[in-house]
A and B are shown apart, each in its own frame.
Chain A
Amino acid sequence: MIKVVFCMICALSLLASILTGNTSEMGFAVVEGLQSAVDLSLTLLGVLCLWGGIMRVFSAGGIIKYLTKLLKPILRFIYPDAARKNNGLDEISASMTANFFGLGNAATTFSLAAVSKLQENSGDKERASADLITFTVLNTCAVNFIPTTLIALRYAAGSADPFEIVVPVWLCSLACYGATAFVLRAFALFREK
């Protein structure tokens, strides 16, 4: 996917530069891009190391299991099929909690486990079950505790207050998650009829 995106951006840029006549800045732009990449990576290094460590401590401290228990009642509403068969809610909850804490690798592991459980519940091998669609689409609405990469980007860009957007991000992602969950539940009900 990235390869396609990269090719498209390069092709469009070359074409546009010829059409607009901005060819002289192109070589310099590449060098500038390189410098930005290195600067950014150095800033990210510190942040990601700190947060990687912190989140790992939390997960070892059992907070994932605790939050998983808290989430289950809400999940019963969003995933009716899994709730009915009592299969997969733990994995879904664990994946949400891991995503919440920015534990990317753990989150992917839990998510894939959840996907296989949801497929077990569904009778159909070819068609995605309502729960599976709900889970997948809700995963595209990221609800994070602290969006560390974003904060690092803001800091690198010289923001006076990199953290000011944390609360808006919470509000926005929760609103988005809630609205989407609702829409998905409505679609699921509609499909059953």
Chain B
Amino acid sequence: MELISNLAVPAVLLLVGVVMTFSKQDMMKDFVQGAAEGMKTCVDLLPTLILLLCAVSMFNASGAAEYLSRFVSPVLGRLGIPEELSSLVIVRPVSGGASTAVMESILSKYGADSFVGRCASVVCGSSDTIIYITALYFSAAGVKKTGYALPVAFLSMIFCLSFSCFLCRILF
């Protein structure tokens, strides 16, 4: 498993090189365009990240995070989720920027290779912002009655959370 994880990116780079070499079109132009878009994404992200990382930093320093943990951890514990992830659990369905900020603080506080760090990583990689996506799609469709969408989405997130921590426990 480690071998696949480690070789995935170099393999992709090789594949890109092959596609670029054997293609009839001028791929360098595409690469540059894509890279420029990536740069734009980053620059767009910075202001939000500044605000949110300051907020998260204050949140941790004030002791509010520990207080929140105490509320949420009994529930999390029963699902097999480490209590240090309580801020992430609350913020993940709500905002992508805030999740990045909380991830950064969790990884720097507990270390990226600790059990907590790995759980947080797998959780973050396998879920997305429920509120934003549902709001966007349903308003684009113009529907008002969303039926079982939100309950199932939240159930799905809870499943994702416990499954990722479970996976981390057996794989690492």
Which residues of chain A have a CB within 8 Å of any CB of chain B? 1-2, 5-6, 9-10, 12-17, 19-20, 22, 25-26, 28-30, 32-34, 36-38, 40-41, 44-45, 48-58, 60-61, 104-105, 111-112, 115-116, 118-119, 124-128, 132-133, 135-137, 139-144, 146-147, 149-150, 153-154, 156-169, 171-173, 175-176, 179-180, 183-184, 187, 191
Contacts and interface: CB of A to CB of B under 8 A. Distances in A.
Contacts of B75: none
B147 to A, nearest CB: 6
B9 A146 contact: yes
Interface residues of B, number: 104
26 contacts: A9-B55, A9-B56, A15-B64, A22-B61, A40-B53, A40-B104, A48-B38, A48-B39, A52-B35, A52-B39, A57-B19, A61-B19, A125-B142, A133-B147, A136-B137, A141-B126, A142-B128, A153-B104, A157-B107, A163-B6, A164-B113, A167-B4, A171-B167, A176-B159, A183-B156, A187-B152
Contact of B55 (A17, A33, A52, A54): A33
A40 B1 CA distance: 28
B73 interface: no
A58 to B, nearest CB: 7
Given A5-B91, A168-B167, A111 B137 contact: yes
Contacts of A146: 8-9, 12
A30 B133 CA distance: 30
Given A41-B46, A133-B146, A55 B156 contact: no
Given A2-B98, A26-B62, A159-B112, A172 B126 contact: yes
A155 to B, nearest CB: 8
Nearest to B107: A157
Contacts of A5: 52, 91, 94-95, 98
Interface string B37-50: 11101100110111
Interface of B: 1-2, 4-6, 8-9, 12-13, 16, 19-20, 23, 25, 27, 30-39, 41-42, 45-46, 48-64, 67, 91, 93-95, 97-98, 100-101, 103-105, 107-108, 111-113, 117-118, 121-122, 124-135, 137-138, 140-149, 152-153, 155-157, 159-160, 163-164, 167-168, 171-172
A36 B19 contact: no
A13 B16 contact: no
Contacts of A33: 50, 53-58
Given A33-B53, A41-B49, A140-B157, 19 more contacts: A1-B132, A38-B50, A40-B100, A41-B46, A53-B33, A56-B31, A119-B141, A125-B142, A128-B141, A136-B134, A137-B149, A157-B107, A159-B107, A168-B168, A173-B126, A179-B156, A184-B152, A187-B148, A187-B152
A132 B141 contact: yes
B57 to A, nearest CB: 3
B147 A158 contact: no
Contacts of A22: 61-63
A153 B107 contact: yes
A163 B156 contact: no
Contacts of B32: 53
